[in-house]
Copies of this chain bind each other. A is one copy, B any other.
């Protein structure tokens, strides 16, 4: 009973909170799920009911859907495949970090666990992918990442960018261009609610001001 690509995509979307930028709450609303998958709302409802019958999700009508233990594990493995593949494409195949998403999206459903492990081995068993997203273990476990965003970290304090939560090519290229990729050391100089912006001092005293929406997608760790 290997799950179809479709099932894997639903589980993955629920696992990732269906693209919610807010902390993944317990229940993912149907609308959000349908949106994340690019299907009509009714389609998501139907599919989720099927998944519930297979014991992969818990479904509360009119409230939303959450993964069961089994569903979580399956989803984590899909995400693992995705992220290992992304890492492999960047490190071994010369892809840019903004070019790997679609390719990984396709491959994650067909590549064997064996090949994933080979890739993982060649990569030195990395803990995160090129975007800083954590790679679940083969058992489906993710090391919890205590993190803050540019919106919540202390001001005027050196921090390291560890993760960029957005797969949009244009955004990623912007981040790269301004040296804000994972690994870079920066400092948040100021936040301004009125102008909805955050001023950052990056490498070589470079200053850049970005919107709060963008700032919320950059996660950092104290240094």
A residues within 8 Å of B by Cβ? 89, 93-95, 102-103, 106-107, 109-112, 114-115, 118-119, 122
Contact = CB atoms under 8 A, between A and B. Distances in A.
Contact of A107 (B89, B95, B107, B122): B107
Q: Is the interface of A mostly helix, strand, loop or mixed?
A: helix
A117 to B, nearest CB: 10
Nearest to A107: B110
A223 to B, nearest CB: 36
A114 B94 CA distance: 11
A89 B115 contact: yes
A94 B107 contact: no
A106 B118 CA distance: 17
A118 B93 CA distance: 7
A89 to B, nearest CB: 7
Nearest to A112: B103
B110 A94 contact: no
